[in-house]
Homo-oligomer: A and B are copies of this chain.
Amino acid sequence: MDVEIIAFDVFGTLVDWRTSITAELSRIGQRAGLNADWAAVADAWRSRYGPTLAAVRRGEREYQPLDALHAIMLDEVVAEFGLQALTEADRDELVLAWYRLRPWPDTVPGLTELRRLHILLPLSNGGIGLLTRLARSAGMPFDCILSAELAQSYKPDPRVYLLPSGYFDVRPERVLMVACHPGDLQGAKRAGLRTGFVPRPLEWGAEKGAPPAPPDTDIVADDLVALAALL
């Protein structure tokens, strides 16, 4: 596959948001004297993501960077779970927890290997500042940081998928989008990119498992180290 640029989904595909966010909710919640099923709180926070971003894409909600939407969604989850003992400062700290998510064990070695021959960049709904700080914290070696923020929209808006080919002056099929979410790969495919699927069966905990790859996926690999070997 003759690709020059590999673009990565981040939350779920490169980093284990659920374990990291559950741990931070638990730590900060207990500090505030609260008890809860913190994994369920993390899942509820993340579950609001899809519908909230879809409202922005449909123009029903004004574009705001993901940090601002994370704060709004957290307030909703606080109300849902009765966690009002979390102060404004606690909530701000939790929004920043998305800057320090743990990478999957294959992420850093896989990216390091893939970077030898390809330009690597995140293509995420997280903002430029969030993604840059997360890449530093997790040690993820990117060549540049691209974000849906640069299109003032969110994936799967095709304008987001066309950011790499635009900035690098290459045809969209010279860009490989790698993700663990079928909807992300379908959006990339519609925009003319090549697509690569890696399953992340632990993204939503041990019971959920991974969805299947879309049938027209160009390349499927067990993880990023395996993807590097295939390319």
- Could you tell me which A residues sit within 8 Å of B by CB distance? 67, 119, 121, 127-129, 131-133, 135-136, 142-145, 149-150, 167-169
Prevailing SS type, chain A contact patch: helix
Determine which of B67, B132, B135, B144 lies in contact with A128 in the assembled complex, contact meaning CB atoms within 8 Å: B144
Tally of this chain's copies: 2
Instruction: List the B side residues contacting A121 at CB < 8 Å.
Output: 132
A129, closest chain B residue (CB): B168
Find out whether the CB atom of A67 lies under 8 angstroms from the CB atom of B144.
no
Please list 7 pairs of residues, one from A and one from B, whose beta carbons are closer than 8 Å in the complex, sorted by A's number. A128-B144, A129-B169, A132-B168, A135-B143, A144-B144, A149-B167, A150-B150
Instruction: Say yes or no: B132 contacts A144, CB within 8 Å.
Output: yes
Question: Is B136 in contact with A132, judged by CB distance below 8 angstroms?
Answer: no
Known: A150-B150, A167-B127, A167-B128. A133 touches B145 (CB 8 A): no
